[in-house]
Structure 1
């Protein structure tokens, strides 16, 4: 089964990430357009089923540009099990061949020894089932993560980490990101600027590349007051939509012809304990 992400409602078919993004998009949150692939559909694509391949290639074409192919495993992004760092993501996929290779890579990432060991640790079924989200990729000016409660202390404050370019530089630990703590409502409690000497950008040929950041931007803040206010608004909207704690991945896109930057919600999960 393949469906627009806003139509993906069953976690047992599409996985938690797809269902949560679908709900967010239905509620009007700024989620880029995407398609959700059920675990059974992913198996068909990987097995070479011509009908399934034709459907996913057509869905990819309808997104009208480069995409991110993201894992949405059954049981992934649950309260006790995030699988953060375990499952693969493919960025800036631009062709039929790259799309099918990305689906196969994400599917296989659920079966690495590290991912299987994580499943055993949490007592999950031994055989993984992998749904996938094919999401329109946004050309991020800056990106990062936001926690609606402090992920270590549990304090009722927002914690934000940000860097230039795509947020994978933060997730992969390639830079020391800017670090912000906000009080509920948006007041800045702490602003600690990082050492953001490289950025991950998409490559016109496909995939991503690491580039050196201009010297004057290495220690310059990614987030001004307007961007911090927008992130506080997104945090509040996600709390109202989902309840509980929020672990968000986001990106800003700067368009010089627009009065303000566009903020996108790329992924959403609860702050996990596992």
Structure 2
């Protein structure tokens, strides 16, 4: 257990491993490796939770689909190492604490929404608690149901991302290929004022922009009066082109804009194509 690493920064090579950092963490690290604009952060590696709980008992509860028992075991016994909280001190301020399962966000299946994400988290105690909450969410009724269909109930690999929050003025998602029409010469960009979780969760109807691969508008529907400028659309399109080229497949990209600067928060394969 002395070899166990309790956190890995995005810019470390190991962080690009899905096995270690989960789908979300590895994607962020890969973007950092391409010098793309990603807010700083680190990952609690996927083997840490298993090392700090009774893993055999936890697997037995998961196999029995006793989601309440499994979540309680994690909540009552999991420990977050002090070095993780020291790493948080280095970031400082508000962070997002996000689940990052090792099986998620593959081309075959997107696990988006199966585990928890916590935004605007501040202070050591809140970070510690939300890391444990992310681990516990891996055993929610919905997560266990989905994992039985798409993965393995024996799998305890759950990494957690801790990342600086962007105080977004506007945010949203970009699909580097139109997910409905499937036209490869068109992208769909959805945007709202404020945090992008409103788009991801479906809380509000975002502004919709269909653009070509140069960022030129072909169609728009703007219930919010036009969240994005033409310059924003060009920046977002250029990043989407770069990300699709980097990963080799169409991407579903979450982003935020602050003072005209685009920050990338996540990129995963579009699974609907």
User: 28, 31, 37: which is aligned to 2:38?
Assistant: 31
Runs of 4+ in 1 over 3 A off after TM superposition: 42-49
Query: Which sections of structure 1, spanning at least 5 residues, go unmatched?
Result: 195-218, 255-260
Classify the secondary structure of the residue corresponding to 1:70.
strand
Q: For residues 39-96 of structure 1, what are the alpha-carbon distances to aligned partners after superposition, in whole Å with 9 as ceiling and x for unaligned?
A: 22244566454xx521110110111221001111011111112111111001111111
Alignment pair present for 1:9 and 2:8: no
**Deviation (angstroms), 1:273:** 4.3
User: 228, 232, 239: which is aligned to 2:233?
Assistant: 228
CA RMSD of aligned residues (A): 1.6
Counterpart-to-counterpart distance in 1, 2:11 and 2:103: 19
Structural mapping, 1:124-273, within 5 Å: 124-128=151-155, 129-156=157-184, 157-194=186-223, 219-254=224-259, 261-273=260-272
Counterpart-to-counterpart distance in 1, 2:49 and 2:258: 31
Number of residue equivalences: 241
Asked if the contact 1:79/1:273 (under 8 Å) is kept, the reply is: no
Asked if the contact 1:6/1:21 (under 8 Å) is kept, the reply is: no
Counterpart-to-counterpart distance in 1, 2:16 and 2:266: 16
| Inter-CA distance 96–3: structure 2 relative to 1 (3 Å threshold) | same
Query: Which sections of structure 2, spanning at least 5 residues, go unmatched?
Result: 53-73
User: 93, 96, 115: which is aligned to 1:65?
Assistant: 93
Query: Structure 2-normalised TM-score?
Result: 0.84
Classify the secondary structure of the residue corresponding to 1:251.
strand
Alignment pair present for 1:121 and 2:149: yes
Classify the secondary structure of the residue corresponding to 2:47.
helix
Counterpart-to-counterpart distance in 2, 1:4 and 1:11: 14
**Deviation (angstroms), 1:109:** 1.2
Alignment pair present for 1:92 and 2:120: yes
**Deviation (angstroms), 1:9:** 2.5
**Deviation (angstroms), 1:241:** 1.8
Counterpart-to-counterpart distance in 2, 1:192 and 1:105: 38
Q: For residues 137-172 of structure 1, what are the alpha-carbon distances to aligned partners after superposition, in whole Å with 9 as ceiling and x for unaligned?
A: 010000011100111232111111100100011111
Asked if the contact 2:179/2:270 (under 8 Å) is kept, the reply is: yes
Classify the secondary structure of the residue corresponding to 2:219.
strand
Asked if the contact 2:99/2:160 (under 8 Å) is kept, the reply is: yes
Classify the secondary structure of the residue corresponding to 2:178.
coil
Asked if the contact 1:3/1:36 (under 8 Å) is kept, the reply is: yes
**Deviation (angstroms), 1:240:** 2.5
Counterpart-to-counterpart distance in 2, 1:44 and 1:177: 42
